[in-house]
Amino acid sequence: MIDPSDRIMHIGLTINLTKITYCIILFLFITDLNWIILPLSTRKIIGIVGFIYIALNKFRVNQNILLDILFMYLLGGIILFFSSILGGGEDFSFWGVLLNRIFIALGGYYIYAKWKNYSLEEFLKQYVNIVLINDLIALLLFLSPTLNSIAVYLQPVSENAAELFSGLRLIGIGAFRFFEGGIFNALALICIVFLYLKKVFSVKKAFGYFSLILFLGMFIARTTMLGLVAFLFVLSPSFSNFKRLWKLGILLLMGVVGIFLVLNILLQDSEVMKFAFELILNIIDKGEFATKSTNGLLTMYIFPDSWKTWLIGDGMWMQNGYYYMSTDVGYCRLLFLWGIIGTLIFFSFTFSLSRKSMFNQSKLNKNLVKILFLFLLIINVKGFSDFTFLYFPVLFYLQREKEFFLNSCIYLR
């Protein structure tokens, strides 16, 4: 006869191993290690595992959102094909982008479906933890030249980037580098506020996470500041949420100002400090709301000079190893890729997916989707991004919550 205490211990060990496996897979999926010792990036590997998982289940998919996503990229491929033919483009790099997004959709679905017992809140909590771990790794690499050399060997940085940003910013592993690193951190700030309003995080924990990720993220990329759109949750009609958000906001305002003043004293002559907080320092010292990056961004707004390109694009994403037309502005790159028609379809389809996921959701869940979509529109003013590594899993989890809600209503009847 099995001792009940042994049975409980066995169940507890199984649960712990399940959660550890979940966290490891999620870390590899989010971080997207692309080391030379790996045949593919970890995100692609998990995407392939996701495809095998679906195949083993005889292609039975309990997520209409996934089918919609796959259809969106099929449609994107068709538009790109005609843009390339009619525009005379000979660049195939965006086909790789579309394929990569399919890997992300399959990998995100695998994580969602394989670990069925985890909720949206658990997923976002682990996402925040993963971002903080990656920020701390980036700090460690900055402080240790030896470890940094190993990281650069495993996943090389281009010579131009290494020369341009050496000693200026923290550079992490995997995708936690440069512009994309800032996106990870900005999204984490949005998740922290959401989890705080969901009462998953206490005010102390939310303050600690927010402060650490904000400052470490700024040392990686100043795009992190865009995560402050998280405070648009204040538009929630719930008075309790309004009150909780103001409480966190006031605490953060005082704490962040204090931390900045201390850092400014300790790192006054540091290049990394000048780079991370150039905007704030320029406001204080010169009264200018600008940085070298924002001034340079204005020169990147290059637009088509023919109606054909405006309508259907040139079918070009890269040219001779550089961004086509030498612009890295997201909207401009999409215009040159597949014109206004393709760009509107891309954002309209994303909006449609977002709107579909909000049906029968709580106000907070709806606001999360709205803020993420708004962030998508804002971030492409700077550079191209669709942060599908977070967006797709969020849509999957919201779909499950909607189904649970509808089933509960049917049961109550």
- The contacts of residue 337 (CB under 8 Å, 6+ apart) are 80, 83, 94, 313, 314, 315, 316, 317, 324
Confidence of residue 4 (pLDDT cuts 50, 70, 90): low
* Of 337 and 233, the one with more pLDDT: 337
Q: Flag whether pLDDT at 9 surpasses 60.
A: no
Per-residue model confidence (pLDDT) at position 409:
40
Residue 66, strand partner residues: none
For residues 228 and 279, what is the distance between their CA atoms, to the nearest angstrom?
A: 15
Average pLDDT along the chain: 86
Average pLDDT over residues 81-95: 87
Q: What percent of the chain has pLDDT over 70?
A: 89
Q: Helices in 144-238 by DSSP H: which ranges?
A: 145-154, 159-165, 178-197, 203-220
Nearest to 106, CA basis, from 58, 77, 74, 67:
67
Average pLDDT over residues 364-376: 92
Nearest to 403, CA basis, from 206, 160, 112, 162:
112
Per-residue model confidence (pLDDT) at position 384:
92
Are 132 and 209 a contacting pair, CB within 8 Å?
yes
Tokens of 83: 């843009």
Are 187 and 387 a contacting pair, CB within 8 Å?
yes
For residues 12 and 101, what is the distance between their CA atoms, to the nearest angstrom?
A: 36
* Of 210 and 294, the one with more pLDDT: 210
Per-residue model confidence (pLDDT) at position 7:
53
pTM of the model: 0.90
Per-residue model confidence (pLDDT) at position 234:
65
- The contacts of residue 66 (CB under 8 Å, 6+ apart) are 105, 109, 396
Report residue 19 CA to chain centroid gap. 22
Per-residue model confidence (pLDDT) at position 58:
79
Confidence of residue 293 (pLDDT cuts 50, 70, 90): confident
Confidence of residue 126 (pLDDT cuts 50, 70, 90): very high
Per-residue model confidence (pLDDT) at position 237:
59
Confidence of residue 404 (pLDDT cuts 50, 70, 90): very low
Q: What percent of the chain has pLDDT over 90?
A: 55
Are 217 and 182 a contacting pair, CB within 8 Å?
yes
Per-residue model confidence (pLDDT) at position 18:
87
Q: Flag whether pLDDT at 103 surpasses 60.
A: yes
| Longest Cα–Cα distance in the chain | 81
State pLDDT tens for residues 238-285: 666 778 888 888 888 888 888 888 887 777 778 888 788 887 877 777
For residues 385 and 388, what is the distance between their CA atoms, to the nearest angstrom?
A: 8
Nearest to 22, CA basis, from 136, 172, 175, 127:
127
Computed over its alpha carbons, how large is the radius of gyration of the chain? 22
Q: Flag whether pLDDT at 223 surpasses 70.
A: yes
Q: Which of 24-28, 160-164, 234-238, 392-396 has the lowest mean pLDDT?
A: 160-164
Residue 319 phi, psi dihedral angles, 5° rounding: -150, 115
Tokens of 199: 């009462």
Confidence of residue 5 (pLDDT cuts 50, 70, 90): low
State pLDDT tens for residues 148-198: 889 988 988 765 555 445 667 899 999 998 899 999 999 999 999 999 999
For residues 357 and 365, what is the distance between their CA atoms, to the nearest angstrom?
A: 9
DSSP character for 323? E
Counts of helices then strands in the chain (DSSP H, E) = 17, 2
How many CB atoms lie under 10 A from the CB of residue 73?
A: 18
Q: Flag whether pLDDT at 401 surpasses 50.
A: yes
Per-residue model confidence (pLDDT) at position 231:
81
Amino acid at site 279:
L
- The contacts of residue 308 (CB under 8 Å, 6+ apart) are 86, 87
Are 187 and 195 a contacting pair, CB within 8 Å?
no
State pLDDT tens for residues 29-70: 999 999 999 999 999 999 999 999 999 987 887 668 899 999
Per-residue model confidence (pLDDT) at position 190:
95
Q: Given the DSSP bridges, would you call strands 318-319 and 322-323 parallel, antiparallel or unpaired?
A: antiparallel
Are 184 and 176 a contacting pair, CB within 8 Å?
yes
